[in-house]
Structure 1
Amino acid sequence: MLARIVMILSIWFAGLGVARAQEVAEDSMIFAPSKYLLLDKGLQFRITTAINSMYNFDFPTAERDFAVLANQYPDHPLPEFLVALGYWWRIEVDVTNEKYDATFVKYLDRAIAKAQVMFDEDETNKEAAFFLAAGYGFQSRLYSERKSWTKAAWAGRNSLKYLDLSRGEEEFNPELLLGDALFNYFAEWIPDNYPLMKPVMALFPEGDKKLGLRQLEEVANNAFYTRVEAQYFLFRLYASEEKEPFKALQISEYLHEEFPNNPYFHRSYARHLYTVGRWTESVEQSKQILERIDAKMPGYESNSGRYAAFYVAQYNERLGDLEQAKKYYLLTLSFGEESESQESGYYLHSLLQLGKIATEENNKDLAKQYFKKVKKYAKRKHPAHQEARDYIKKNKL
C-alpha cells in the first residue's frame, strides 16, 4: 500500500505533456534566445504542428518531425520524450492493452539517459532535472497501471528527487506548477478517501484541493509543455471528484474540437454530453465513434466502443425503441468482452437492461441467463448484483 501511495503522489510529475501554442503570424515573430531548449520560443513555434499531430493521433506525421528534431539536437532528451509521450497516449485509450509498454519505456529510458548525462555535467541544469523528474514520473504512472508497485515506488522517488532539483528557474514556473497542482489536490484527497492512509500522508506536506484546482487552471491557460495534460486532469477531476459536469464538458468539448481524431477526448466529450442530459448530441458523437471503430481509425477500439454503444442503447430505450436498444446493449457486451471489461459498470448495466427487456418480452429463460451473468461478474456488494438478485426474486425467475 505504501508503494501505491508513493505512486499516486508521483503522478503529479507525470503530467509533463505538450500543448498547442497560440497561433502567431509568422512575419511578426521575434524570439529571444534561451539557454534551455524547453524555453526556446522559436522551437515551440516550429514544433507546434508536430505536437498537435501527436495529440490528434497522427503519429507518423508527428514522429517524422520529432526525428528532424532528434537530428538537430542528438544529445537532448526532448525528441525521445515527445515520442514516448505519443506512445503514452496510445496506451491511455485502453490502459489494459500492454502492447505499447516496451516501446514507451524504451523511449523514456533514452530520454532519461540523455538527461542524466546533462545533469552529471552540470547539477545546476534545471532542464535536465526537469526531464529526469518527468521521465521517472511517467514510468511510475505506467508501472502503477500494471500493479508493479515496487517499480512504481522506485520511479516515483526518483521523480520526487529531481523535481525538487528542477526548481529555482522562474521561466519554468508554468510547467512545474502542474506538479504542485496535482500534489496539492491529491495530498488532501487521499486521506479524505482512504482514512487508513492518514499516518502515511502525515509524512508529506499538507495539501489543498482548492489551491490545486486553481493551479491546474493556471497551467491549462499559461503553460506550453504541460497545458493539455493539465486540461486532461481538470476534466477528469471535475467529472468524478468535484461533481462539476458542465465544467468537465466545457474542457472536453474544447479538447475534442482542437484534436478531433483523439479517441480519448472524443469519448470523454460523448460521455460528458450524456452526463448533462444532452443525449441527442451524445448519440451523434457516439455513432461517429462507432463508425470510426469500423473504419479502423487509429486509437478507436473496443474500450471506446463500449462507452459509445451504451449511450446509444440508453437513448433508444428512453425512446421506447427496444429493438434498437437491444442491438446496442448487445454491442456494448461485445465490446466489453473484447476488452475483457466484464466487471465495468456499462457491461453490467447492459446485462441488467437486456434481462429486464427479455422479462417484458416474456422470455424468462433468456432473462435468467442475463441476470446470472450479472451475478457472475459483479461483486456481491456491487449495486448491479443486488439489483439482479432483487429482480430475480420479484419476477420469480
Structure 2
Amino acid sequence: MKPTFGLVTVLLFVILSPPHTATSQERLPLFSSKSKIKLVQLCVDHIYNMEFDEARVLYKEIKIALPGHPALDMLDAFFISWQEMPFNVHSPGYKDHIAKLEAVIEKSQKILKEDADNEEGIFFEMSARGLLAEYYADEGSYMKAISEAKQTYDFIKKGFELTDKNPEFLFTVGLYNYFRETYPERHPIYKPFLWFFKSGDKELGLKQLDQACRQGVLTKVEANLYTSYIYLRYENNPETALKYLRRLNKDYPKNPFFQTKLAEALVMNGRYKEVSPLADELLANSDAYYRMSANLFLGIIEEKKAANLADATYYYQKALSESATFEFKGEYYKSLAYLGLGRIFRSQGNSDLADGQFNLAIEWATTEEVEKEAKGYLKH
C-alpha cells in the first residue's frame, strides 16, 4: 500500500498555515489569505473523493488567484498521483510528477533569491525535496535520495519545536520519529548514511501520529492514512489500523483506494461479513488493481471462514490473473494470493506445487510476516 509520503502533507500544511497578519499579502500571497487557503482545501477534498472534474474547476480559480506560485505545481503533482493510485516510481505519470516537483523547487528558489526568509519559498522547496528523496530511495538511487534528504532535514528539525504550539506538526514529526528508526531496519543499505539525522523514537512517533489523527484539523486525512499503513504493514496490527480506515471511508466514500485498505483491515481482523459490500464495489471498478484486491479478499474469506478450498482457489487465481494485466504494484496482494494457494495445495497433499507457490510468495513479499510464513512451510 505504500502511500506517497508527504505529497498531500505538503498541501495540507499549506491549508492549515494560519494567516500571517504581520506579513504583507505580497510577500505571502497564499499563507496570508484565508480565501485562497479555503480554495486549496476544497480542491484537495474533491481529489480525495476522486471528483477530479470538480477539483479542476477550483484549480482554475487557484491558478488565477496565485499566478506563477509553486503551489500550482504541487497541486498538479497531486492530481497525477491520485489519478494513478496506487502511485509509485513505475506509474505512467511518474516522470511528469517529478517534473512538477522540480518546477516547485525552481519557483521556490526564485522566491528565496529575493527573500531568503520567505516562509512560502522555504516551505515548498522543503516539501518538494522531501518527496524527491522518497522517490529516489524507491528507485534505488541511494546517493540522490540522501542528498535530497539532507537538504530537507534542516527544515524538518524546526517542526520538533512547534508540536506544542501547533498540533498539525505532530504528523510530520511523528512520521520522522517512526520511520527514522524503522526504515533503516527494513533497508539496511541506508544505515551508514544516517549519522547526519537525529535519532527517532518509534513508540513516541506512534503516539504523535495518533494525536495528529485526533487533534489535527486538516492533516487528519493523511495522518489516518499513514498511521493505518504503519499498523497494517509494519506493526502487523490490523485491529488498530481499522479505526483509522473507517474514518477515511466515512469521509471519502468514493475513494476506492481507501475502500481497498478498509477491506484489507476487515479481512485481517476476521470481520468477513463487512467485506462483502466493499468487495462488490471493487469488483465493479474499471481498474484491475482494485478487482485483484477484491478477489484476493474473497479468496481469503473462502479459505479461512468457509473452508471452501475450491472457491478459494478460484478467487486466488483470479486475483493473480487480474494482476497479470499490470506491473509494479500490488506486490503485497500477489504474495498473499500465492501464500493462500500454497496452503491449499499443501493441505491437498501436493507438496511440489505448494512449494512453488510459497517460493513465489517470498519473491513478491513486502512484509516480514508473509516471508516468514512461506519459509516456515518450506521447512516442513
Whether these two folds match at TM > 0.5 is yes
Seen in structure 2, the aligned counterparts of structure 1 residues 388 and 335 have a Cα distance that, compared at 3 Å, is farther
Q: In 2 relative to 1, CA 338–384 (structure 1 residues): closer, same or farther, beyond 3 Å?
A: farther
Larger radius of gyration: 1
Residue of structure 1 equivalent to 2:337: 347
Q: 1:319 and 2:306 equivalent?
A: yes
Structure 1 residue 249, shift from structure 2 partner: 0.6
SS in 1 for 2:97: helix
- Aligned equivalents of 1:150, 1:191: Cα separation in 2: 15
Counterpart check, 1:329 vs 2:312: no
Task: Report SS of the residue matched to 2:137.
Answer: helix
User: For residues 113-192 of structure 1, what are the structure 2 equivalents within 5 Å?
Assistant: 113-163=106-156, 173-190=166-183
Alignment match, 2:368: none
Q: Deviations over 1:312-363 (max 9, x none)?
A: 1122233243443232122122123334467842132233145247x37xxx
Task: Quote the offset at 1:275 in angstroms.
Answer: 1.6
Q: Provide the residue aligned with 2:274 in structure 1.
A: 281
Tell me the distance in 2 between the aligned counterparts of 1:131 and 1:254: 29
Q: What code does the residue aligned with 2:318 have?
A: L
> Aligned AA for 1:146?
E
Per the alignment, do residues 222 and 190 of structure 1 end up closer, same or farther by CA in structure 2, a change over 3 Å counting? same
Give the drift of 1:389: 6.8
Q: Answer yes or no: is 1:306 the counterpart of 2:296.
A: no
Asked if the contact 1:13/1:178 (under 8 Å) is kept, the reply is: no
Q: Is the CA contact 1:20–1:52 (under 8 Å) kept in the aligned structure 2? A: no
C-alpha distance in structure 2 between counterparts of 1:110 and 1:316, whole Å:
49
2:213 maps to which residue? 220
Please, what TM-score do these two structures have when normalized by structure 2?
A: 0.79
Question: Judging changes above 3 Å, is the alpha-carbon distance between structure 1 residues 80 and 321 closer, same or farther for their aligned structure 2 residues?
Answer: same
Structure 2 gap ranges (5+): 366-370
**Aligned partner of 2:68 among 64, 71, 75:** 75
* 2:295 maps to amino acid: A
AA aligned opposite 2:77: A
| Matched AA of 2:302 | N
Higher relative contact order (CA 8 A, sep 6+): 1
Relative to structure 1, the CA distance from residue 222 to residue 66 in structure 2 (aligned partners, 3 Å threshold; closer, same or farther) is farther
Task: Tell me by how many angstroms 1:169 deviates.
Answer: 8.7
Counterpart amino acid of 1:347?
A
In the superposition, the TM-score normalised over structure 1's length comes to 0.76
- Contact 1:17/1:227 (8 A) holds in 2: no
Give 2:12's match in structure 1, choosing from 15, 18, 43.
18
Q: Residues of 1 paired with 2:192 and 2:125: CA distance?
A: 29
Given that 1:50 and 1:65 are in contact with CA atoms closer than 8 Å, whether structure 2 keeps it comes out as: yes
2:325 maps to: 338
CA distance in 1, matches of 2:96, 2:178: 31
CA gap 1:41/1:171 in 2 versus in 1, 3 angstroms: farther
Q: 1:19 to 1:75 in 2, by over 3 A?
A: closer
| Aligned-partner Cα distance in 1 for 2:163–2:116 | 17
**Aligned with 2:263 (options 262, 270, 273):** 270
Q: Mind listing any 5+ residue stretches in structure 1 that lack a counterpart?
A: 1-9, 23-30, 391-397
For residues 116-161 of structure 1, the C-alpha deviation after alignment (integer angstroms, 9 at most, x for no partner) is: 1111111111221011111111122222222222332232222224
Matched residue type, 2:12: V
1:278: Cα distance to partner? 0.7
- 1:235-280 CA distance string (max 9 Å, x none): 1123334454333111111111211222221111001111222111
Relative to structure 1, the CA distance from residue 378 to residue 204 in structure 2 (aligned partners, 3 Å threshold; closer, same or farther) is: closer
Contact 2:267 2:301 in 1 (8 A): no
Superposition RMSD in Å:
3.7
Say whether the 8 Å CA contact 2:163–2:169 is kept in structure 1: no
User: Which letter maps to 2:306?
Assistant: L
Task: Give the AA of the match of 1:129.
Answer: I
Please list the CA deviations of residues 268-302 of structure 1 after superposition, one character each: whole Å capped at 9, or x if unmatched: 1001111222111123312321122xxx2xxx432
